[in-house]
Amino acid sequence: MTANSDQFRFVSLLALELDNGDISLPSLPDVVLKIRQLLEDENTDFERLSRAISMDPVLVSRLFVFANSAFYNRANVKIETLDGAISRLGIEVVRSTAMSVAMKQLYTSDKHSHAHKYLRAVWARGMKLSCMSFAIAKRLPQLNDETAFLCGLLHEVGKLYIITKAAEFPDFLGDKESFDSVLETWHSQIGKSIIESWGFPDEVAQSADPATYLVQDQDSAPCYVDAVYVAKYLVDNGQEESLDLSADPSCVKLGISEVTVTNVLTSYRDKLKTMQQSLA
C-alpha cells in the first residue's frame, strides 16, 4: 500500500473521529485531576492539597526541585518539607507543575517508541510555547501567567494524538513532508477537542486553535488566544535582531513592541531554563 493511500485513510480516520467526538488521549493522572478538583473548591487548604500530592513521589520530587530553584528561591533559603514547597510556589504553580510532569510522561512513554523523535520535538516545542506564553502574560494584570503557561503547554497536544495514531500507518509516518502537513492542518482542532475532554475551561481549549478564535481587533481585551499566538511568533522568530510587531493586533493588545520584547524574551529564557532543569 502506498504512502498516499495511507495518508488518505489516515486523514479520513481523523475526520471521522473528530466528527464523532471520539478524540481522546489517556486520562490525566489521578493526582492532576485531584489538584484541579481542589482548585475548584474555594475551601481548599494546603493540608488537603499536600495529602493529594504526597501520593505521587515523582511530582513531589519535582516540586522540591522547583521550590529550591533560582527562579523561585531568590532568597536562597532551602525548602525541605512538602508544605513549605507548596507554600512557596503557590497552588497555581503546583497545578502547572503537575500538568508539566504528566505531559512529559505522555510524550516520553515507552508505548510510543515508533515515534520518539517526533514526540520529543513536540514536547520541546511545548516547553518553549508554555514559557513564552507565561512571560507574555506575566506583564498583564488581565491574564494569569500560570493559566497562560498551561495554554502554551497544551497548545500542540493534538500532535501527540496524531503521532500516536500514526503507529498503524508506518509508511505514512515515514513520509516526513506529508506527515508534517497533516500535523499542521489537523492538530489545532484535535487539540481543542482533547483539552475539552480533560475538562479545562473554554479559554484554555480555544487557545489551541488561534486560527478560529483569534480576534483581529487591537481594541478588544487581550486573552489567552492572543498570548499563545504571539508566543508562537516569538518562539519562531525571537532571535532575530528586529521584529515587526507594531502592526499585529495581538501584539498591540498585549503591549508587545520592539521596546518591550527584550524583557519578555529575558523572562522567557529564565523560565525555560528553570523548567528544563527541574523536569530533567
* pLDDT score recorded for residue 139: 92
What residues have CB less than 8 Å from 41, skipping those under 6 apart? none
Residue 253 and residue 78 in contact, taking contact as beta carbons nearer than 8 Å: no
Whether residue 6 is predicted with pLDDT greater than 50 in this model: the reply is yes
For the entire predicted model, the pTM comes to 0.87
In sequence order, which ranges of the chain are alpha helices (DSSP H)?
3-20, 30-40, 46-53, 57-67, 82-89, 91-107, 116-137, 145-154, 157-165, 170-173, 176-197, 202-206, 210-213, 224-237, 249-254, 261-279
Whether residue 1 is predicted with pLDDT greater than 70 in this model: the reply is no
Query: Per-residue pLDDT averaged across 49-68, rounded?
Result: 87
C-alpha cell belonging to residue 210: 488561534
Give the number of other Cβ atoms within 10 Å of residue 110's Cβ. Answer: 6
* pLDDT score recorded for residue 26: 62
Please write the tens of the pLDDT for every residue from 140-157.
Answer: 999 999 999 999 999 999
Name all domains of the chain by residue range, CATH numbers in brackets. 3-279 (1.10.3210.10)
CB neighbour class for 238 (10 Å; exposed up to 12, middle 13-18, buried from 19): middle
Whether residue 237 is predicted with pLDDT greater than 80 in this model: the reply is yes
* pLDDT score recorded for residue 112: 67
